[in-house]
Structure 1
Amino acid sequence: MGLTPEDMSELIAFRHELHRFPEISNEEEHTAQRVVDFLANTNPGNVITNLGGYGVALVYDGDEPGPTILFRSELDALPIEEVSQIPHRSTVAGKSHMCGHDGHTAILAALARQFGRQKPARGKVVLMFQPAEETGNGAAGVVSDPRYDDIRPDFAFSLHNLPGTPLGHVRLKPGVVNCASRGMRITLEGKTAHSSMPETGISPMWAIATLMPALVGLGSGSFNDDEFSMITVTHASMGEPVFGIAPGHAELRITLRTRLDERMAALCADAEAMAQEAASRNGLTAAFDYHEIFVASINAPEAVEHLRTALDAEGISHDEAELPMRASEDFGTFGHGAKSAMLFLGAGTDHPQLHNPDYDFPDDLIEIGTRIFMRTARNLVG
């Protein structure tokens, strides 16, 4: 049984409600509860809450043995002030769903409605409403939760909407689709001094000034090369915002990016060595820490074929263009224990880009995304 007009009206209203009340990564308590409340009447065999944070997993069991398949959406919004005047615009200052996670969640809610009416014939279907995708710790928290062992999938699927691509057209390919990345914070410590006598202190000025271009220069290789690496300087600070004190402290934040996880360790080592050498040369100490760690997202060929079969059956156009992407996605973590694949669903060629302050998820994609995933599920578990 497919979605009725009443279903679609209620799913769109649900998506709009999520949009009005956004919660950023690791704060999705009320968003998770809205999901649980909205889908309570779909009668899942099991509901797991607070999974890896505020994650929610709804499990629909078949009567016969079979594979476990997982579909993932994200719960978190972004710390961006929405500028649009849509009726369902964010009611929370400085926070908004500018990546479409509200729409992805509505797609999984549509699956829940259909599995509530007709459960899988075999195996089990897990609908994973994941927290904290934007900070990279959500998927890692889910798979490290001991309760994940009870729902560990054979196949994992996800999608992300993609502005700049025709509405409803799909980008999909096997292999790398999203880069590995992580944030690195470099802290340099010296000694403050009176600004009239800077020679009596130890300033990080020269070190931080030379490090920024030098670290960027560590990037190498073409993006189409597995040896590709890239460093982006995202923030720098030094001393206090005053005129009487020569600085004794500085921080530099950079993002390291590689196509493959194996290349990341070497890039981190090179960046640390360069920063340590600059610190020593200038009489400073250096310290390092890492944040927002994303592994590479790699689509398994067998999982991709299941999605392609569903796309062809539903008459949805697809190709491999524009993949892989430099951007990161923490869905790659699920691929370390399952055959996983993510597809990218076109949001329109002229649609505002992800993370733009005037972005809004196209409601027309709820029905399209649901058809793709539902066909994939029925092919695998009936």
Structure 2
Amino acid sequence: MEKIMINDLIDFRRELHMHPEVSGNEFQTQGRIISFLKTLGIEGKEIGGTGVFVVFDSGNEGKTIMLRSDHDALPIQEINSFEHQSIYEGVSHKCGHDGHTAIMCGVAKHFNENPIEKGKIILMFQPAEENGEGAKAILVDEQFEFQPDLVFALHNLPGYPLNKVVYKEGNFTPAVKSIIVKLDGKTAHAAEPELGINPAATISELIAMFDEVNQPDLERDDFALTTPIYIHMGELSYGVSAGHGEIHYTLRTWSSEVMNELTERILNRIDDIAAKHQISTSISWTEEFDSNKNDPKAVDYVSQAISANSLDSEMREWPFKWGEDFGLFTQKFPGAMFGIGSGENCPALHNPDYDFPDEIIETGIKMFTSIAQKAINE
């Protein structure tokens, strides 16, 4: 892609970086994407609340290939001082979704100037990836009337050399979800705790239980990582024996099947522990991500694109441990996610000093366009 267009994409990426919006609130971001696409002569349509999609339809029979990017930011205070730093307190692009969006705009320009001869290509600019709600919102939108034959997404990867493509067969990211357990006992005077039901013993046993089901060995198919996130009990009042508390954990497994088994096991144990201590429980779940399952044929197209562009690459042995909302798409349609190195010295994702490296925008465009062209023409 010509240098002048890459510079335009960098400028647009930095504009998005300056104006970040958290999951579900990307209204200005949505408008900026649609406006930028319009400057390229491309019509972007709203979907999924704050998402955008573009359709390139050849008018002839063929496969439907969907390429997906994301554009929400995080509730993190940026500490960078460059010119394109976030103008909003406590909100910033610390996962590189601004860069993913710029890449997809470059892909849109490519296919607008190089029309496909058969099938359809759908470019999906997805909102709300960080909280696991964006893919759901798109799939239930009546405008999502497609049945993609293959779906693809990428993510930038700090710690890997710039432009190195990282891919994997099988699960690329795990199933992830967070559990909130609220505990109701009975408040009493601290001098007469026997007249109440304090949740402390229940919380203690629950912590031990979560530790017991933890299986952090990456080599095991039943890998299960249980991470304590938040624990609260009572109030800061020394004359009162607490009657209420809550405990939050995040669960991670390589597959959705193992997650279902782990969930059932944990819920049964919670019931038993709470009943033993005469505690009532209220359980809810939040930020749920399906395992991102890479289809072998889709991975082959990724491999072919790497070769076609003479890129350095690595086949990863284990899935990454972070959740990814694209997993909902790969549970429903064959597809694959891959990564592009952001630099070995690049700050980690979600760190307050992270910034997406503009040097990998062109590589992302080349990978996406090569994958789509190979998949749709085979």
Question: 1:343-372, CA deviations, whole angstroms, 9 ceiling, x for partnerless residues?
Answer: 111011111000011000000010111111
In structure 2, distance between residues paired with 1:242 and 1:142: 47
Query: Normalised by the size of structure 1, how large is the TM-score?
Result: 0.95
Quick check: 210-219 or 156-165, which moved more? 210-219
Separation in 2 of the partners of 1:125 and 1:43?
A: 17
Query: Does residue 1:259 correspond to 2:257, yes or no?
Result: no
Amino acid at match of 1:205: A
- Check conservation: 2:218, 2:318, Cα contact below 8 A: no
Q: Which of residues 95, 107, 113 is equivalent to 1:99?
A: 95
Q: Which amino acid aligns with 2:8?
A: E
Give the one of 344, 349, 356 matched to 1:361. Answer: 356
1:202 is aligned, of 197, 200, 215, to 197
Instruction: Select which of 83, 90, 100 maps to 2:86.
Output: 90
CA distance in 2, matches of 1:342, 1:43: 28
Quick check: 1:90–1:96 contact (8 Å CA) kept in 2?
Answer: yes
- Verify the 8 A CA contact 1:185 1:290 in the aligned structure 2: yes
CA RMSD of aligned residues (A): 1.5
1:54 aligns with 2:50: yes
Cα shift readout 1:282-319 (whole Å, capped 9, x = no counterpart): 22111211111111111101111111111101000112
User: 2:89 corresponds to which letter in structure 1?
Assistant: A
Aligned with 2:316 (options 321, 330, 342): 321
For 1:234-269, what per-residue CA distance to the aligned partner results, in whole angstroms no more than 9, with x for missing partners?
A: 111111233332211111001111111111122112
What does residue 373 of structure 2 align with? 378
Give TM-score, length-normalised by structure 2.
0.96
CA distance in 2, matches of 1:251, 1:322: 37
Name the CA shift for 1:93/1:228 in 2 (closer, same or farther; >3 Å). Answer: same
Amino acid at match of 2:301: H
Whole-Å Cα distance in 1 between the matches of residues 318 and 100 of structure 2? 20
Aligned equivalent of 2:180, options 179, 185, 196 = 185
Contact 1:186 / 1:289 at 8 angstroms: preserved in 2? yes
User: Residues of 1 paired with 2:307 and 2:67: CA distance?
Assistant: 19
Query: 1:225, CA displacement in angstroms?
Result: 2.2
Q: Deviations over 1:155-186 (max 9, x none)?
A: 11110000111111111121111110111110
- The 5-angstrom pairing of residues 193-342 of structure 1 reads 193-220=188-215, 222-321=217-316, 323-342=318-337
Confirm whether residue 174 of structure 1 aligns to residue 169 of structure 2.
yes
Quick check: 2:163–2:363 contact (8 Å CA) kept in 1? yes
- Find the residue that maps to 1:359 and give its secondary structure: coil
Of stretches 235-244 and 53-62 in structure 1, the one that deviates more from structure 2 is: 235-244
User: Is 2:51 the counterpart of 1:21?
Assistant: no
Match of 1:240, SS state, is coil
Distance 1:174 1:13 in 2: 35
Unaligned residue ranges in structure 1 (runs of 5+): none
Q: Distance in 1 between matches of 2:37 and 2:156?
A: 23
Which residues of structure 2 form unaligned runs of 5+? none
Q: What is the aligned residue count?
A: 377
Q: Which amino acid aligns with 1:48?
A: K
Quick check: 1:128 aligned with 2:134?
Answer: no
Cα distance in 2 between the residues matched to 1:164 and 1:297: 21
Distance (Å, rounded) in 2 between the aligned partners of 1:196 and 1:305: 68
Summarize the alignment of residues 144-155 of structure 1 with structure 2, pairs less than 5 Å apart. Answer: 144-149=140-145, 151-155=146-150
* 188-197 or 358-367, larger mean C-alpha shift: 188-197
